[in-house]
């Protein structure tokens, strides 16, 4: 049974015994009847070592990571562990309860809210505590997402910014076993990753083409990514060889900067995810009720289609496509 603790009273030092601890960190609700807080899982090994911090459901409709964290936490044998696994299976509880990307309370996207504010709205407060209290504990941080409105490959994204932490990030990405590995020279503002970057903590995130459900095709990649990372960090006894991914991509992964449409309508795809495309190639078209083409969307560079709109109905500003550079190594 999880114990409830008011979040400002919580200290990791009070839960440093070997074994597993499950805690609900209460953030006082802003007038709402439903309890708001952060579910926290701590698995302390018998020996001191590194700390892996993992989050899932930063977006409330991205669910593989939730199950993967729960499954991995359950199977860990803390007597054989060296270091800690600290995980938040559901980072944005209000969004998760309504199975939506952003919070139903303040409409904020938690993945655009970091580092948050202690005296802010509910989502800003969640971001603040996730950053200050939990990410700050990490020697390595991983954020488990899955794509809902867009298709994304089953992948690990790493830090290709050239810093010292970025080297550790890249090395770890190749040990996850994810079929696609994608290096990003920069990260958009407000992400969980920004809270790791500002502390010099290496990070990864993962994605897959899912959302609103747990895909049994994708779930094993999440579980093995977590276990491989725990092995790589020497927290558990597990071989973590370097895998050769199917594709190694490079470029901005900022979905806020993808090509978007200017009109409302019915989006018809003309390419598939992970297709190789030329500059100026037709990605898709927006049609009206009669099938007339209102807008064509074309690529602005050659490369690999790494993000593609999956929902058919679009409104002005909706992102539809992001092309990444293919690295041959």
Binding residues for Zn ion, rule: CB under 5 A, are 59, 62, 145
Please report how close the Cβ of residue 105 comes to Zn ion at its closest, in angstroms.
18
Please report how close the Cβ of residue 145 comes to Zn ion at its closest, in angstroms.
3
Please report how close the Cβ of residue 61 comes to Zn ion at its closest, in angstroms.
8
Cβ pair 112, 95 in contact under 8 A: no
* Whole-number Å distance between alpha carbons of 61 and 73: 21
Nearer to Zn ion, 45 or 253 (CB): 253
Nearer to Zn ion, 62 or 285 (CB): 62
Nearer to Zn ion, 254 or 295 (CB): 254
Helix (H, G, I), strand (E, B) or coil at 55: strand
Please report how close the Cβ of residue 57 comes to Zn ion at its closest, in angstroms.
9
**Of the candidates 327, 328, 323, 287, the residue with the CA atom closest to the CA atom of residue 308:** 323
What secondary structure, in 3-state letters, does 232-291 show? HCCCCCCCCCCCCCCEEEECCCCHHHCEECCCCEEEEECCCCCCEECCCCEEEEEECCCC
Cβ pair 309, 151 in contact under 8 A: yes
Nearer to Zn ion, 65 or 265 (CB): 65
Q: Which residues pair with 52 in a beta bridge?
A: 85, 140
Please report how close the Cβ of residue 207 comes to Zn ion at its closest, in angstroms.
7
* Whole-number Å distance between alpha carbons of 153 and 249: 11
Nearer to Zn ion, 56 or 320 (CB): 56
Close Cβ partners of 303 (under 8 Å, ≥ 6 residues apart): 249, 251, 276, 277, 323, 324, 325, 326
Nearer to Zn ion, 84 or 191 (CB): 191
Please report how close the Cβ of residue 205 comes to Zn ion at its closest, in angstroms.
8
Nearest position to Zn ion, beta carbon = 145
Please report how close the Cβ of residue 213 comes to Zn ion at its closest, in angstroms.
14
Nearer to Zn ion, 59 or 232 (CB): 59
* Whole-number Å distance between alpha carbons of 215 and 63: 9
Alpha helix ranges (H) inside 121-187: 122-129, 164-173
End-to-end CA distance of the chain: 48
Sign of the CA dihedral running 180, 186, 189, 195: positive
Neighbours of 29 (CB within 10 A): 14
Cβ pair 209, 310 in contact under 8 A: yes
Nearer to Zn ion, 43 or 63 (CB): 63
Please report how close the Cβ of residue 100 comes to Zn ion at its closest, in angstroms.
12
């Amino acid at each position: 049974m999880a114990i409830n603790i008011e979040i400002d009273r919580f200290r990791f030092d009070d839960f440093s015994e070997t074994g597993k601890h499950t805690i609900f960190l209460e953030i006082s609700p802003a007038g709402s009847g439903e309890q708001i807080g952060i579910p926290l899982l701590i698995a302390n090994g018998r020996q001191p070592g590194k700390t892996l911090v993992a989050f899932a459901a930063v977006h409330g409709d991205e669910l593989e990571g939730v199950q993967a964290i729960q499954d991995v936490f359950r199977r860990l044998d803390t007597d054989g562990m060296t270091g800690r696994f600290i995980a938040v299976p559901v980072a944005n509880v209000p969004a998760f309860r309504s199975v939506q990307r952003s919070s139903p309370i303040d409409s904020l996207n938690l993945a655009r809210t970091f580092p948050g504010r202690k005296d802010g709205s509910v989502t800003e407060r969640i971001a603040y505590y996730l950053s200050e209290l939990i990410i700050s504990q990490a020697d390595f941080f991983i954020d488990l997402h899955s794509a809902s409105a867009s298709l994304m490959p089953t992948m690990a994204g790493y830090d290709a910014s050239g810093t010292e932490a970025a080297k550790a990030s890249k090395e770890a990405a190749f040990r996850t076993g994810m079929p696609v590995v994608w290096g990003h020279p920069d990260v958009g503002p407000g992400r969980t990753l920004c809270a790791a970057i500002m502390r010099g903590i290496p990070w990864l995130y993962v994605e897959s083409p899912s959302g609103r459900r747990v895909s049994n095709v994708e779930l094993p990649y999440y579980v093995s990514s977590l276990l491989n990372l725990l092995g790589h960090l020497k927290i558990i006894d597990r071989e973590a060889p370097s895998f050769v991914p199917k594709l190694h991509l490079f470029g901005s992964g900022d979905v806020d900067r993808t090509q978007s449409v200017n009109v409302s309508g019915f989006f018809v795809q003309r390419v598939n995810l992970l297709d190789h495309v030329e500059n100026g190639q037709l990605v898709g078209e927006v049609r009206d009720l009669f099938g007339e083409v209102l807008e064509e969307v074309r690529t602005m560079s050659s490369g690999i289609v790494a993000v593609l709109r999956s929902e058919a109905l679009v409104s002005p500003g909706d992102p539809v496509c992001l092309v990444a550079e293919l690295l041959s190594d």
